[in-house]
Chain A
Amino acid sequence: QKEVEQNSGPLSVPEGAIASLNCTYSDRGSQSFFWYRQYSGKSPELIMFIYSNGDKEDGRFTAQLNKASQYVSLLIRDSQPSDSATYLCAVRSGGSYIPTFGRGTSLIVHP
């Protein structure tokens, strides 16, 4: 059973701070890692993907992957109230085209 674990939160951070969202996975054969943002009442939106160990930056977002420790993180710099949403981690193994989703972490950015 492939598992993807996320702290449900809520994670509350002040505006302008760095929000750090973490995701651990059980399958060592995992190859592709995705972060989706889901606003309340809306559908998920892909914001980052990472395949290789290390960091990947896109604007205020940085994805960090550590395959040895089996975790992937999403850092949001200069957090804004508009970043308040649930962030879903999805992990895809090499032997499957279908990712396993975590249950998501709720992020609240307060002014």
Chain B
Amino acid sequence: EAGVTQSPTHLIKTRGQQVTLRCSPISGHTSVYWYQQALGLGLQFLLWYDEGEERNRGNFPPRFSGRQFPNYSSELNVNALELEDSALYLCASSLEPGDGYTFGSGTRLTVV
């Protein structure tokens, strides 16, 4: 069974640019979660999608957005990139909301 897949693995962007990260959950998992892990900070919750709808949002500005497609894959979009957005972005999925997560390998975003 394939795990949670994320792309790309690494990304370097310039401040002010926009970026799109992609995630495919484990087959059968309908919930997809996005987290940011910046150096020295813990896992910060960004967004939760389930059955195509945004169910919850963390304490991040509106320039962080996303969507979930009918096949349950998901995109995270970050507009107007700032240097502080440099981090590991992790996608996770779960069979049921509230279950433990299976994480993808992450996308390392560097903003210069």
Contacts and interface: CB of A to CB of B under 8 A. Distances in A.
B100 A46 contact: yes
A34 interface: yes
A104 B42 contact: yes
Interface string B23-62: 0000000010100000001110100100000011010000
B70 interface: no
Most central of B33, B45, B98, B106 by chain A CB within 10 Å: B98
Given A98-B48, A101-B43, A46 B101 contact: yes
B28 to A, nearest CB: 16
Contacts, number: 41
B14 to A, nearest CB: 24
Most central of A34, A42, A92, A97 by chain B CB within 10 Å: A97
B51 to A, nearest CB: 13
Contact of B98 (A44, A97, A101, A102): A97
Interface residues of B, number: 21
Most central of A43, A45, A46, A103 by chain B CB within 10 Å: A43
Interface string A36-53: 100000111110010000
A97 B44 CA distance: 15
A34 B43 CA distance: 14
A36 B98 CA distance: 15
A32 interface: yes
B97 A46 contact: no
Interface pairs A-B: 7 shortest CB-CB: A103-B42, A97-B97, A43-B103, A101-B43, A46-B100, A97-B98, A43-B106
Given A97-B48, A98-B48, 7 more contacts: A43-B106, A44-B43, A44-B101, A46-B101, A98-B58, A101-B42, A101-B43
Interface of B: 31, 33, 41-43, 45, 48, 55-56, 58, 88, 90, 97-98, 100-106
